[in-house]
Copies of this chain bind each other. A is one copy, B any other.
C-alpha cells in the first residue's frame, strides 16, 4: 500500500466490460486485467471516467472493486475512483473502497452544486484527512466544470493531503506550471497525465506516468513509450506517440453517437474486435457502437493498432 503513493509509469483506467444485459462481464474483465498486467503496466485504476464510474450503481461499484482485487491478487497496486457529487458522498465511497482493499483512491473536485476554490481545497483536505489510503486528485474540467489550480495542488501535496494528480484537464500550460511548482517544492506529488494524444509532451513537461484510456486497447504501446522515456529516447517516444495518437482517432470516428459514448464506446469496440471482451455494450442511456461506427474503429485499428495480430475472425 505504501507504494501507491509513489506510483509512476502506466496505470490504465480499466474499462468495465458488460454483458448484453448490462451486468459486469467477469470473464472479459479478467482478460482485460490480465492482458494489462502481462504488458507490464504499473498499476490499475478502476472506476474512472473510462471505467464508467458515473454510470455504475453502488452495488456495481462494489462488485468491480471486489473482482478487480481478486483478479489482480496483489500483482500491481489497485486504485479506485470515489467520484460523486460532493464531499460526504465521496467519503462514503472512500470507506467502501478502502474496506475492499484498494491501495489508493482517486477523487475529483466536487460538482453539481457550484463550488469554488476555497471549498475545493477544503474538500481535498477532508478526503486526505479521513482516507486510510493515499488520495489522488483527478483534474477533469470537462466533467466537473472546475479546474484545479496548480498552486493549490502542490500545497495539498506538501501538506500530505494528496499523493498525486491525474491530469485530464486538457490544459498543457497549467500542467507545465504544476510540474515546475511540484519540482520547486521537492516533488511531493506524483503527476500523471490522462491525455492519450500527448503523453510524450506530458513527460517532457515533467509527468511521472500516464493514465490513458487507450492503453486498454494498446497497453504495449504506452509501456514502450514509458520505457523510452526512462531511457531518454525522445525519437522513439515521438514515433510511438504519433502512432498512438493516430489510433486514438477511434474515439473521434463515431457518427451515430457523440460524447462519452463515442470515446469509451470506441475503446470497448476495439477490445471486442481484438477478442478481449465479449461485447461492446455500454450503460444506459448510451447504446453500443454499431454498423459503420464499428467499421470505422476496425479500419483505424487495422491501420495503426497494436502490432499483435488480431484473433482469427475479428479482422
List chain A positions with a Cβ less than 8 A from chain B.
Answer: 22, 49, 52-58, 60, 83-89, 91-92, 110-116, 118-120, 122-123, 126, 142-145, 170-173, 176-177, 180, 195, 197-198, 200-201, 204-205, 232, 234-235, 238, 242, 245-246, 249, 257-261, 283-286
Contact call B55/A88, Cβ cutoff below 8 A: yes
Cβ-defined contact, A242 with B180, below 8 A: yes
A168 to B120, CA, bound (A): 24
B residues near A116, Cβ cutoff 8 Å: 258-259
Q: Are B113 and A49 in contact, CB atoms less than 8 angstroms apart?
A: yes
A224 to B176, CA, bound (A): 19
- The smallest C-beta distance from A113 to any residue of chain B, in angstroms, reads 4
The 10 closest A-B pairs by CB, nearest first: A201-B201, A113-B260, A114-B259, A54-B85, A122-B285, A172-B172, A54-B112, A123-B285, A119-B285, A173-B197
Q: What chain B residues lie within 8 Å of A143 (beta carbons)?
A: 112-114
A125-B110 Cα distance, complex, nearest whole Å:
28
B115 touches A246 (CB 8 A): no
A61 CB, nearest partner CB in chain B, Å: 10
User: For A89, what are the chain B residues with a Cβ–Cβ distance below 8 Å?
Assistant: 54-58
Pairwise interchain contact B170-A197, C-beta atoms closer than 8 A: no
Contact, CB under 8 Å: B242 / A144: no
| Chain B residues within an 8 Å CB radius of A86 | 54-55, 283-285
- Which residues on the B side are within 8 Å of A284 (C-beta)? 86-88, 122-123, 126
Contact assessment for B88 and A85 in the assembled complex, using a CB-CB cutoff below 8 Å = no
- Beyond the given A87-B285, A113-B260, please list 7 additional residue pairs across the A-B interface where CB-CB is below 8 A: A54-B110, A55-B86, A115-B259, A119-B286, A176-B197, A204-B238, A232-B234
Residue among A60, A119, A257 facing the most chain B CB atoms (10 A cut-off): A119
Q: A55 — which chain B residues lie within 8 A by C-beta?
A: 85-89, 113
A245→B57 CA distance, assembly (Å): 40
Collect the chain B residues with CB atoms within 8 Å of residue A119's CB.
Answer: 259, 261, 285-286
- Residues of B contacting A49 in the complex (Cβ-Cβ under 8 angstroms): 112-113
User: Across the two chains, which residue of chain B brings its CB closest to A117?
Assistant: B258
Contact for A88 among B56, B110, B114, B235, CB less than 8 A: B56
Q: Name the B residues within 8 Å of A142 (CB-CB).
A: 114
Q: Please indicate the chain B residues that have their CB under 8 angstroms from the CB of A245 in the complex.
A: 176-177, 180
Q: A119-B259, A201-B201, A205-B198 are in contact. Are A283 and B234 (CB under 8 A)?
A: no
